[in-house]
Structure 1
């Protein structure tokens, strides 16, 4: 009950936090309307798994596409490291996209090479219905995938533009790292990324729900990617058969044997 009260009181409320020291204390606006954990103190307010991925795989030259950027923790942490690189932050929720822009306009962030694209990613270019979660906006999803159980119902249904990842290649620098967090639309996103997976072949960090596990695994393996548990350093494990909740997918020819 208390959690639900906090969720309702926090709607459309945002405040400034700073990322940990290793990310240069980069400031960004966060909102408990996305996740209540942003109310926690210190580094506990941020997703430790996301920050570890930046530690392990992002360097000063990285070109990153952040699909489902939310408030931008991965975006701004990556940008603080990729000084010679580029970050494309993609977010379908126009309110969260506005929060990303608000963070980017902070004076301290003026030299970060970030571009924000307010749209959903799918397997065709067009228009789709997008569901704003009753609880945290981090559980927003495309209507075609259905509402997530953690969404707690639907607050609002909005209309959003959709683009394929392959379409983005005609307009933005091709990535060497792609992070995907799309609440059940993983297979749909990858279905529109044939050229990206075949020609560009970035490393992919993807959150995969149980329903999409086998389909996402099949798509990536057909494109000659090896799958790894994204919660562990790559050097400490062997590849896995099926995606885990947080999966790292790496082109087979770039994996040391």
Structure 2
């Protein structure tokens, strides 16, 4: 797999995404659970790492990539083109309802930067840190259920990595999750140092339990942990 890299920092970021890496098992685990005809949704796609690897595997399936940062969307398209792959790329943020918001982009405004969605464009504040965004862009928000209603194929396998808004995404695609999703991967945010939308992990786990999922913790990092959720 080939990815566009513009500097040394990006180079080191990409080093944790080989096809199999015991120190970062999430990526390989997703590929293992993809069937040949599955539909995979990459929600919070960033620069399209999961999107590209899934598209390479799902020659008979379908990949849907959802990312609100326009700089990242451009990079997703470039990375797909570098590998001769295709995916259905949506420049939107998935939330609990259809609306619009202001995406605060942090670190730098180039591809790969992380961001948070706010209604009024205010910066993120916490007791320990205040960080100012380097760029603010107005973005469309929609729900996963609305995308499916508009004709986007529903996911069999779903990955959510949305900087603390994971419960909002789940609420906005409750019907689709109940009817279609077989395996669900979520980056559950636990830190409140950088994340002003942090939801208590118990709320995410309670939602998953109510909808018939059994969870397994795959990987821990400083701000949270990745889980795999399967139907019980």
After TM superposition, the score normalised by the length of structure 1 is: 0.72
Task: State yes or no: 1:68 paired with 2:40.
Answer: no
Instruction: Give the Cα separation in 2 of the matches to 1:57 and 1:93.
Output: 28
Q: Select 1:134's aligned residue among 101, 107, 112.
A: 107
What SS does the corresponding residue of 1:27 show, helix, strand or coil?
coil
CA contact (8 A) 1:177 1:204 kept: yes
What SS does the corresponding residue of 2:159 show, helix, strand or coil?
strand
1:121 aligns to what?
A: 94
Which structure is larger by alpha-carbon Rg, 1 or 2? 1
Q: Select 2:139's aligned residue among 154, 160, 171.
A: 160
Instruction: Give the Cα separation in 2 of the matches to 1:249 and 1:152.
Output: 33
Q: Which has the higher helix share?
A: 1
Instruction: Give the Cα separation in 1 of the matches to 2:130 and 2:218.
Output: 24
Instruction: Give the Cα separation in 2 of the matches to 1:54 and 1:218.
Output: 23
Task: State yes or no: 1:96 paired with 2:69.
Answer: no
**Alignment RMSD (CA, Å):** 2.8
Task: State yes or no: 1:225 paired with 2:204.
Answer: no
When residues 153 and 103 of structure 1 are mapped into structure 2, their CA distance, relative to the original with a 3 A threshold, is same
* RCO higher in structure (CA 8 A, sep ≥6): 2
Instruction: Give the Cα separation in 2 of the matches to 1:118 and 1:179.
Output: 16
Q: Select 1:44's aligned residue among 9, 15, 19.
A: 15
When residues 154 and 40 of structure 1 are mapped into structure 2, their CA distance, relative to the original with a 3 A threshold, is same
When residues 63 and 166 of structure 1 are mapped into structure 2, their CA distance, relative to the original with a 3 A threshold, is same
Instruction: Give the Cα separation in 1 of the matches to 2:25 and 2:125.
Output: 21
Instruction: Give the Cα separation in 2 of the matches to 1:147 and 1:76.
Output: 31
Structure 1 alignment gaps of length 5 or more = 1-25, 233-243, 253-257
After TM superposition, the score normalised by the length of structure 2 is: 0.80
Q: Select 1:197's aligned residue among 165, 169, 177.
A: 177
| Deviation of 1:93 (Å) | 0.1
| Deviation of 1:208 (Å) | 0.6
| Deviation of 1:219 (Å) | 1.1
Task: State yes or no: 1:85 paired with 2:61.
Answer: yes
